[in-house]
């Protein structure tokens, strides 16, 4: 049945011990030191192995350049958009996949040129003495290092380690992969510089750069990379504007090779200038293409009518015939030219309307000027439609947002709707003009019919010839105009500061960050470990733990027995450990006096569990009493697990058990020691019934007989937390010492001790903290009490710290 006292286990629960936690941290200073050394070593090794990261920039401006040949009389008009539209478009193009594919392919940046550095391979683009010209239509060994060693200035050796029977190839012209069979061994080949290499897995020609320097005997590496992954790396180019809505753009790129960064930045801008200029010339290009196709047909018609006119003039008095119809010829020609111009405009409008309704790509529309249309609304709408269509096609590979495409589609639809309305209005006006011209032409033709037949025939041939010649001349003029406009167009993108290696640009690695991180982790890791130990470990750590858990007095603190001497007091009487036991002796004498115990005095020493040092304490407490010239005896009453014989080196099998079963007398079981006034009585053979023997009347007789002979009787008993033997011996003890060992005894054991005290199972109990070792800087070896001020009073001085040794030496010098 549970006693109300059993619930004392819930008492005295302590809060977080901040001071104890700090002391615990300080005690593990070596761990922190080792952790910091390891973390800083790792950080250093990481830093020295990291490649340097550079950041290069180029500065460009966007300024809408008007063509100096665009005048009020120029029929070709092109507008690439406002400045803000251009900035957004250029930013998109620079980061698009299609644009970067063009640049990577042009520079062949999918080829790595490498050298072996101190710790790893480094990108040596621009520094190697050679370059390779590959056959893009042939498969190249991908993602494998190809060693190139120059045997002489004109001969090199290739080494490729094949580990499998099949290798992967990439064909850059089609950006496709394939496989080829190889022998799983190191392939070694020799070639002359400039010689064409044709292998199943390699097709190139190696050339030496200008001013290559010393390269004979050196080894380099070439590596072919995946085209798409290479493009993806360069798509990350940073494009930023100097000010919001401004026309100055800064292009930035980061990498490990400055020469490669400079080359790419400048090349991407040059490629952009070409694309932008091609787009700006698109209007003129479409016009020239249309005019060229028309001129071919016109040349044929002009030649045919010229031959017809030549045949008619043969064997005729042409001057007499021409004189009769001259007055009609010029007038009819003017009417024909006027009619052709109106008809061409109507035909253009019909064609344009049909194209707008049946197609979605308007980038190839010819200029309205080819049909003589100069209506600014029509011309600007067609120009705008071409520009929007061109921009949309350029963004097809870069932008995945449907919203942006819908915005473009909405803009083009709006322009197209306006253009269709303008076409309808313009056609109505042109049809009216055409009817007027036809009326005038009809009147002139009626007058011609009254002329002689030969004159009518000549006028018919000349009319056809003059019309074709006039049209041909107009088209040639328009073509020349388009060529002039195309040649004089200027790009809206200009270099302000091209990328250039001027010795700057280093941005990484951030070694300081790694060292700060090393400091943080070097402290954090052992701190977390200590934190875990502090909360997981529920054993007694210091005096404060005992004071918080129990009201039982603590009468002594025993330091760590570093020399592993059982007879510590006897072997080193002036040690700090000996002084600790003498302090316990003084406290015991006070307790005996307080209890008015006279004559022989008994002391029972027990603990919670085995291993807490009760036998060690028993021996040395007995020793200090013996050294004070008091007859003392240690009685080994741990009948289950005796240790006294080993500690004193005794071989006798006789002990307390022999006395209790009436086999031997007290004198026969008593053993003298090398310590004057100290005797030892061993436990004897292990009995089958130790508890019954302790409870027997023979035990009482045994204690009474000891009191007649000795001043102090030290009872070394079994752990009270494991067996009940010690509780049966309490009745014979004047004082009970409960041994608690630092970092060993569990706090719950103290709670059980409180319960036993409240039940009256233990009387006159006091606690001794054994094996105490404070690693905090303010303590000595056992640290509790005088600390560093004990120097000079004990045989073993505390170890001098490293810094104190240096300071003392400096002071002495």
- For 566, residues 6+ apart whose C-beta sits below 8 A from its C-beta are 616, 619, 647, 648
Domains observed in the chain: 4-50+510-536 (no CATH), 106-264 (no CATH), 282-488 (no CATH), 543-812 (3.40.50.300)
Burial of 22 (0-12, 13-18, 19+ CB in 10 A): exposed
Residue 38 DSSP symbol: H
Q: By C-alpha distance, which of 115, 203, 215, 202 is closest to 155?
A: 215
Task: Quote the pLDDT of residue 436.
Answer: 80
Task: Quote the pLDDT of residue 114.
Answer: 95
DSSP-assigned letters across all residues of 393-406: HHTTTT---HHHHH
Task: Quote the pLDDT of residue 531.
Answer: 80
Task: Quote the pLDDT of residue 454.
Answer: 55
**Whole-angstrom Cα distance, residue 251 to residue 262?**
11
Task: Quote the pLDDT of residue 77.
Answer: 42
Across 564-589, b (16+ Cβ under 10 Å) vs e yields eebbbbbebeebbbbbbbbbbbebbe
Task: Quote the pLDDT of residue 2.
Answer: 39
Burial of 270 (0-12, 13-18, 19+ CB in 10 A): middle
**Whole-angstrom Cα distance, residue 351 to residue 333?**
26
Segments in the chain below pLDDT 50: 1-14, 69-84, 317-321, 324-325, 398, 776-793, 797, 800, 802, 809-810, 812
Task: Quote the pLDDT of residue 460.
Answer: 64
**Whole-angstrom Cα distance, residue 686 to residue 661?**
12
What is the pTM for the complete model shown?
A: 0.55
Q: What is the Cβ-side half-sphere exposure of residue 171, based on CA atoms within 13 angstroms?
A: 11
- For 333, residues 6+ apart whose C-beta sits below 8 A from its C-beta are 462, 463, 466, 467, 470
- Per-residue model confidence as pLDDT tens digits over 291-312: 777 777 777 777 777 776 666 6
Is the CB of residue 492 less than 8 Å from the CB of residue 65? yes
Tokens 């005794």 found at: 650
């Amino acid at each position: 049945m549970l006693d109300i006292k059993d619930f004392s286990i819930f008492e005295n629960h302590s809060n977080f011990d901040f001071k104890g936690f700090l002391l615990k941290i300080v005690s593990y200073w070596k761990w922190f030191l080792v952790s910091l050394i390891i973390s800083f070593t790792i950080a250093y090794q990481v830093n020295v192995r990291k490649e340097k990261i550079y950041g290069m920039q180029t500065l460009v401006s966007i300024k809408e350049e008007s063509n100096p040949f665009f005048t009020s009389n120029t029929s070709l008009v092109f507008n690439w958009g406002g400045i803000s539209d251009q900035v957004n478009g250029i930013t998109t193009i620079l980061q698009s996949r299609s644009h970067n594919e063009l640049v990577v392919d042009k520079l062949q940046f999918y080829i790595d040129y490498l050298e072996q550095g101190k710790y790893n391979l480094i990108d040596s683009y621009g520094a190697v003495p050679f370059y390779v010209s590959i056959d893009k239509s042939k498969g190249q060994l991908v993602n494998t290092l190809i060693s190139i060693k120059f045997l002489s200035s004109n001969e090199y050796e290739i080494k490729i380690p094949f580990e499998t029977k099949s290798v992967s190839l990439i064909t850059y012209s089609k950006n496709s992969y394939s496989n080829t069979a190889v022998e799983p061994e190191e392939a070694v080949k020799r070639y002359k510089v400039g010689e064409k290499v044709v292998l199943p897995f390699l097709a190139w020609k190696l050339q030496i750069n200008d001013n290559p320097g010393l390269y004979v005997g050196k080894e380099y590496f070439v590596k072919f990379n995946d085209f798409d992954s290479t493009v993806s790396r360069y798509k990350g180019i940073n494009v930023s504007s100097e000010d919001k809505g401004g026309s100055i753009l800064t292009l930035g790129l980061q990498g490990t090779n400055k020469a490669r960064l400079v080359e790419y930045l400048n090349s991407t801008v040059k490629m952009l200038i070409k694309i932008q200029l091609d787009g700006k010339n698109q209007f003129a290009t479409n016009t020239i293409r249309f005019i060229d196709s028309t001129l071919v047909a016109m040349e044929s018609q002009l030649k045919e009518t010229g031959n017809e006119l030549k045949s008619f003039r043969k064997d005729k008095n042409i001057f007499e015939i021409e004189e009769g119809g001259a007055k009609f010829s010029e007038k009819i020609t003017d009417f024909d030219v006027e009619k052709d111009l109106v008809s061409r405009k109507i035909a253009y409008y019909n064609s344009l309307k049909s194209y707008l309704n049946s197609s979605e790509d308007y980038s190839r529309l010819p200029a309205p000027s080819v049909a003589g249309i100069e209506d600014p609304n029509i011309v600007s709408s067609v120009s705008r439609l071409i520009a929007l269509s061109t921009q949309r096609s350029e963004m097809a590979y870069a932008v995945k947002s449907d919203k942006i495409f819908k915005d473009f589609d909405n803009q083009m639809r709006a322009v197209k709707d306006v253009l269709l309305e303008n076409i309808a209005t313009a056609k109505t006006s042109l049809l009216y003009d055409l009817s007027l011209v036809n009326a005038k032409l009809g009147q002139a033709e009626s007058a011609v019919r009254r002329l002689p037949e030969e004159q009518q025939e000549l006028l018919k041939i000349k009319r056809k010839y003059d019309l074709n010649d006039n049209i041909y001349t107009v088209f040639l003029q328009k073509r020349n105009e388009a060529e002039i406009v195309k040649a004089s167009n200027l790009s809206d993108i200009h270099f302000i500061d091209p990328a250039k290696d001027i010795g700057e640009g280093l941005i990484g690695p951030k070694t300081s960050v790694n060292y700060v991180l090393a400091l943080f982790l070097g402290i954090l890791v052992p701190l977390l470990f200590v934190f875990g130990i502090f909360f997981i470990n529920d054993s007694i750590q210091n005096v404060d733990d005992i004071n918080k858990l129990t009201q039982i007095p603590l009468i002594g603190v025993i330091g760590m027995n570093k020399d592993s001497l059982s007879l510590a007091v006897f072997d080193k009487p002036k040690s700090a450990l000996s002084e600790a036991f003498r302090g316990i002796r003084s406290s015991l004498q006070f307790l005996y006096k307080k209890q008015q115990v006279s004559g022989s005095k008994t002391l029972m020493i027990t603990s919670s569990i085995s291993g807490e040092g009760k036998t060690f304490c028993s021996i040395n407490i007995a020793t200090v009493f013996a050294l004070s010239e008091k007859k003392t005896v240690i009685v080994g009453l741990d009948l289950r697990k005796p240790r006294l014989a080993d500690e004193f080196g005794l071989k006798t099998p006789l002990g307390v058990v022999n006395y209790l079963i009436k086999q031997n007398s007290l004198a026969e079981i008593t053993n003298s020691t090398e310590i004057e006034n100290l005797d030892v009585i061993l436990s004897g053979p292990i009995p089958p019934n130790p508890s019954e023997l302790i409870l027997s009347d023979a035990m009482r007789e045994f204690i009474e007989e000891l009191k007649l002979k000795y001043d102090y009787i030290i009872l070394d008993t079994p752990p009270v937390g494991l067996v009940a033997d010690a509780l049966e011996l309490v009745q014979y003890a004047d004082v009970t010492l409960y041994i608690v060992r630092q970092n060993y005894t569990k706090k719950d054991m103290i709670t059980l001790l409180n319960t036993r005290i409240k039940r009256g199972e233990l009387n006159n109990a006091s606690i001794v903290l054994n094996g105490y070792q404070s690693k905090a800087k303010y303590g000595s070896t056992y640290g509790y009490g005088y600390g560093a001020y004990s120097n000079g009073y004990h045989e073993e001085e505390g170890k001098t710290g490293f810094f104190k040794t240096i300071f003392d030496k400096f002071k002495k010098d």
